[in-house]
Amino acid sequence: MNLRIRLRRFWKGNFNYMANEKQYNVAVVGATGAVGQKIVHYLSENLFPINELKLLSSKRSAGTKVNFQDREITVEEATVDSFKNIDIAFFSAGGSISEKLAPEAVKHGAVVVDNTSHFRMDENVPLVVPEVNPEHLENHQGIIANPNCSTIQMVAALKPIQDKFGLKRIIVSTYQAVSGAGLAAEQELTKQTEQRLAGEEMEANVLPAGSDKRHFPIAFNALPQIDVFDEDGYTKEEWKMMNETKKIMGDANLQVAATCVRLPVFTSHSESVYIETDYEVSVDEIKEAIKQGEGLMLEDDPATQTYPTPLSATDKKEVFVGRIRKDVDHKNGFHMWIVSDNLVKGAAWNTVQIAETLVKNKIV
Ligand SMILES: NC(=O)c1ccc[n+]([C@@H]2O[C@H](COP(=O)([O-])OP(=O)(O)OC[C@H]3O[C@@H](n4cnc5c(N)ncnc54)[C@H](OP(=O)(O)O)[C@@H]3O)[C@@H](O)[C@H]2O)c1
């Protein structure tokens, strides 16, 4: 490692890594995508202890040059042979790629941190938000799953409430950004906005779900469908939120219902969340629990119109909480507004935090 990076690491006070001498060979699959680019950014910014970094994509982007700290890395096509000598492999190239290549990476001795939904509900795969259930990492068998972006920010905010006051029920409505559906959806929102402002017809090819039969414009619109429809009239995104929340929070009896909506917002998901606690508590006690929660920021003052918004949360690592109110009918009921950057805490940052926790606890 060169002197400049050693000095940066020293001045940043990154003593966790310095205490652990080992340097890791790291691969990022999907490195050219919306999430993959951010993973590479946080690996660099947080000075993750990297010996060799391999950036992988499909054939389309193979050959692209990416600057990483003081090196230039050429993106390679991901194949079954890409993982020789890799210690940690980050996957964010879609479920089918993880299904095919993550077991290959594990066979070669790598620990996989997977951003797709493919392994999330597998009982042998820990599903982890480091502020909520880091202990689940101890039992990993090679693959660790990063939860759905909307789930991560909600469980992070509700964990201190569950710990202090118990949690019986969650009803959530989401207001999700287009970047949650990848770069193609971001480009579609830009193009449709330009088309509409030029008085042209808006073309829709990506949303609400690339693989579904019909597509609708997202610009100047709201789509009450994220991913395809599944059982009982819920979408797959809604089932992900309901099932993943129970698994991460370790309570199969927790009542969770979700309605997921896409909005013409580029980045950061917002959520209107209703909860019922086990015990009767005050709004101030809920606010205090949020204030003390790891990775949380309370932004809640109606007198000064202080509350989080997608624009104010973008590019930040924290989960922001505001608009906390007691329900007018249910003595244990509360409403709140939870906002976080879906590409940061909802994906790349949580993934890098998982890897940092593995390194810190020497379980990689
Ligand atoms: N966006 C979010 O908020 C978010 C949050 C959590 C999880 N996720 C999940 O993370 C995954 C990636 O999402 P994204 O938003 O980053 O998508 P994206 O912007 O569309 O990027 C997809 C990436 O996968 C690569 N890829 C595609 N086909 C491949 C193949 N056959 N072999 C190897 N690499 C291939 C692409 O490479 P090319 O450049 O060569 O096309 C690109 O690097 C998805 O499973 C998504 O559900 C996304």
Q: Of 118, 136, 140, 269, which is the active-site residue?
A: 269
Q: Of 149, 215, 330, 335, which is the active-site residue?
A: 149
**How many Å apart are CA 8 and CA 47, to the nearest integer?**
8
**How many Å apart are CA 322 and CA 299, to the nearest integer?**
5
pLDDT at 3 > cutoff 50:
no
pLDDT computed for residue 127 by the predictor: 98
Is 260 in the active site? no
Residues 285-305: pLDDT tens digits?
999 999 999 999 999 999 999
Distant-in-sequence, close-in-space partners of 284: CB < 8 Å, separation ≥ 6: none
Is 269 in the active site? yes
Kindly report the protein residue whose alpha carbon is nearest to atom 2 of ligand 1. 180
pLDDT at 49 > cutoff 50:
yes
Confidence of residue 10 (pLDDT cuts 50, 70, 90): very low
Task: For residue 177, give the ligand 1 atom closest to its CA.
Answer: 3
User: From the CB of 98, is ligand 1 less than 6 Å away?
Assistant: no
* Cβ density class 83-122: b for 16+ within 10 Å, e for less: beebbbbbbbbbeebbeebbebbbebebbbbbbbbbbbee
pLDDT at 109 > cutoff 60:
yes
Q: Other CB atoms closer than 10 Å to residue 355's CB: what's the count? A: 25
CA of 172 to the centre of ligand 1 (A): 26
DSSP class of residue 54 equals E
**How many Å apart are CA 202 and CA 197, to the nearest integer?**
10
Whether omega for the bond prior to residue 308 falls within 30 degrees of 0, making it cis, is no
Task: For residue 183, give the ligand 1 atom closest to its CA.
Answer: 19
Mean pLDDT of all residues in 302-312: 98
CA of 40 to the centre of ligand 1 (A): 13
